[in-house]
């Protein structure tokens, strides 16, 4: 067969395609473990970031294992799900909140009038992270997520054991515009959340991201967070998702149960 024949060209091209696809799929399969571990480490890092538990060079996994106790909860009643009920979807190690939200058995559709975080579906179960030192609960770190302007934003809110005071807030995944909505990652903006109150003394949900800058001398300042200049739509998304998850349709039943068990 001549070297420049159509048949030979096609055979060589086909051969190159086959070899390349084998190489790509082998790389994808062999790197999957490393990717999964990196994802897990990133989640751990952000849980620790939200709880202000990252210090210097200490190994992430060591801090996490020493200080954090993950707990699977049933969001409908706040009860802990026992280990015996874990399976390949419901488990702490590889818990994927959006996958569980979309699962026919473990997820549910949110009625549109309640779907203020604009996520359509939510998990019936989730993992919360209890920070303990010497067996004393110091804070609780809760996963939250909801729509920004361009993307679904995923983060963690750390709460004091009074379940009112924010100890920290961080997003670990979003695709908002850098410099605009992306300012949700700005350490100065995240620092504003520390110490803010979620509920008032009557137990009403009060936390709010406002448009503009908070009047720090005002009586509402304890509940208010500065908006993001030029990114009001992302800021509104953050407001809505935080209020959804910390409200009755999110962690409300868990808060109730936690208070009964700890203080009851």
233 binds ligand FMN (CB under 6 A): yes
242 binds ligand FMN (CB under 6 A): no
Q: Which is nearer to ligand FMN, 71 or 233 (CB)?
A: 233
Here's the x/- map for ligand FMN, 133-152, by CB under 6 A: it reads as ----------------xx--
> How many of the chain's residues bind ligand FMN (CB under 6 A)?
12
Q: Which is nearer to ligand FMN, 90 or 242 (CB)?
A: 242
Shortest reach from residue 229's CB to ligand FMN, in Å: 6
Here's the x/- map for ligand FMN, 96-135, by CB under 6 A: it reads as ----------------------------------------
Options 35, 69, 77, 229; binder of ligand FMN; rule CB under 6 A:
229
176 binds ligand FMN (CB under 6 A): yes
Options 46, 139, 170, 234; binder of ligand FMN; rule CB under 6 A:
234
User: Are 95 and 40 contacting, i.e. CB atoms less than 8 angstroms apart?
Assistant: no
231 binds ligand FMN (CB under 6 A): yes
Q: Which is nearer to ligand FMN, 176 or 249 (CB)?
A: 176
Shortest reach from residue 176's CB to ligand FMN, in Å: 4
């Amino acid at each position: 067969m001549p070297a420049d024949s159509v048949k030979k060209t096609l055979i060589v091209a086909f051969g190159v395609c086959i070899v390349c696809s084998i190489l790509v799929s082998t790389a994808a399969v062999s790197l999957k473990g490393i990717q999964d571990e990196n994802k897990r480490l990133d989640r751990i890092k952000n849980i620790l970031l939200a709880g202000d538990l990252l210090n210097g060079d200490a190994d992430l996994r060591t801090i996490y294992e020493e200080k954090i106790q993950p707990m699977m909860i049933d969001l409908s009643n706040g009860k802990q799900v026992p280990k015996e009920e874990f399976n390949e979807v419901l488990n702490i190690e590889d818990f994927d909140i959006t996958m569980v939200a979309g699962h026919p058995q473990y997820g549910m559709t949110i009625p549109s009038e309640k779907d203020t975080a604009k996520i359509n579906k939510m998990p019936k179960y989730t993992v919360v992270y209890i920070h303990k030192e010497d067996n004393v609960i110091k804070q609780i770190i809760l996963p939250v997520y909801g729509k920004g302007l361009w993307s679904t934003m995923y983060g963690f809110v750390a709460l004091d054991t009074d379940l009112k005071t924010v100890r920290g807030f961080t997003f670990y995944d979003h695709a908002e515009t850098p410099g605009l909505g992306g300012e949700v990652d700005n350490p100065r903006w995240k620092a504003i959340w520390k110490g803010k109150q979620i509920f008032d003394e009557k137990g009403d949900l009060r936390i709010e991201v406002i448009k503009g800058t908070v009047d720090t001398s005002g009586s509402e300042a304890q509940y208010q967070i500065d908006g993001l200049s030029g990114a009001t739509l992302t800021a509104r998304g953050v407001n809505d998702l935080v209020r959804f998850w910390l409200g009755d349709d999110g962690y409300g039943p868990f808060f109730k149960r936690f208070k009964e068990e700890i203080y009851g």
